[in-house]
Structure 1
Amino acid sequence: MPSPSAQPVFRFAPSPNGLLHLGHALSGIINYEMATAEGGRFLLRIEDIDQTRCRPEFERAIFEDLAWLGLRWEEPVRRQSEHLDVYAAALERLKAMGLVYPSVMTRGEIKAAVVAAEAEGEPWPRDPDGTPLYPGRERDLSPDQQVAIIASGRPYAWRLDMEKAVKHADASLAWREMGPSPASETSLVAADPAAWGDVILSRSDAPSSYHLSVVVDDAEQGVTHVVRGRDLYHATSVHRLLQRLLSLPEPIYHHHRLILGPDGRKLSKSSEDTGIAAFRAAGYTPADVRAMIL
């Protein structure tokens, strides 16, 4: 938990895999205004682990859009692609604890397992996002069998053995959820990481997952307040577990409302009509955008 006397540190962490939309504007502005109100620091982090989708032109657009909105951040900006060794070290720690295993089931194989089970009348557990939990058939393989999987050349992922990890944490987990300002009262929310099953921490084609890199980044940057969209509320359970396992500091959290599109779903980067750049090009001012979302 952050020290009451510590200077608050907030961060906004977009991925450069598309243009920012109004939902990003809301999150960035909330973080910036909370940091400013508390005399804290505001950091910008570029989450560019996925090198197949992240592009330099989108990163430049992020800087341009946020500056146009009036946000100012500390330099240098942290880019995840420049810290792969740090994520690898965190994964090695979890391996040394015996809490991860290599998995090779494809999406098609997982779907087939789910369909077969449900055809027999056995309901398949799903995570809070509605995705079927991983079957975990490789969970109990011997070290030699795990080495053979990796040497086989098949694409694989390192997954957290959730049951072992929860037992290793050896205490109930919770996080502190605050209201719309750092001065708001906080409530204690019980974490339920087991609801997510054996989450991916790394893949053979990607050095780190969102879950692993975000908790490492927040600790490395001294983030005290994690302010992000409500869509990540339940994922906080996994993050609290990883923080406990890796002996990382516990930030305070605030999950703000989402801006929804006409179809009732949260905005995506493919929705160009709600992009910040599109509003700017149409003659809107930063004040106009703020009035639309705040």
Structure 2
Amino acid sequence: MLSHATTRDWLIPYADGMLAVDERRRIDGHIAGCASCAGELGEVRELNLLLVTLPPAPPVAFAPFWLNLQAVLPQRRLMRMPRIQPYRRLGIAFAMAVTAALVAAGSAFAAPSALPDNPLYPVKQLEEGMRLALAPANERMPIQLQLANERLREAQAMAANHKPLLAENSLRAFRVIVDDAAAALKNPADPKAAKAAKDALHSLRLRLDAVERENANRGDDDQEVKQLVAAANDELDRIEQEDAVAAPPTLVIGEQATPRPTPRPTPRPTPRPSDKDHRD
């Protein structure tokens, strides 16, 4: 059985025929034993009949209606801006400029550590591009290796945060940087640079392994990230291989090789006859 309060709340939709069959049956059971609800239901039905028999309201023009309403509404007051003295205007402008400079400086300091899901990441990319473009030719490789490590750090962080699309973008950017630095890594300028390049490649491999581990630790292992990591490892393998095989010396036409000097036999000294040999 429904309660008295619930039945009263449902009387209007009941009278309008908006309830389901089982709900109407429950209300019928309550009304049969409740004279108060039955009387209120009769009043609701009489009100519905009265509303149906009323004539439609005549159309009202909007313009006269709005003019009459506007005459009743309170008038708006014009707000006067306080007058600011010239020196105060300069002070406000200076304060705004200082605030903008502080915000820009804060963004510049925060951008280098920004990840791909950070709003400051485009600022970081712009700064890296300018630094690489303005670097001399002999200083490009260290910057490129630093950027390659940064892309792998970003990919590892995005894989750990379950953002595989951003991790894939960082891995693709890593391959672009490595391809650009491949020539310098294959042919270092000196033995010191060769050792630095070898250490850098080893560090990049460790970073790639870390990205793969983070991707494997996720519940839904992303296949695209795995393929990009494998392709990056293949690229590092190609760089580590020798770029060229030493070719045999060729004989240039028109030139004559200098013949090797023929060794001369060393003459042995002839033993001189002694006095004993003369007496014999």
Give the shorter-chain TM-score range: under 0.3
**Greater helix content:** 2
**Greater strand content:** 1
TM-score, normalising length: structure 1: 0.19
Higher relative contact order (CA 8 A, sep 6+): 1
TM-score, normalising length: structure 2: 0.19
Q: Which structure has the larger Rg over C-alpha atoms?
A: 2
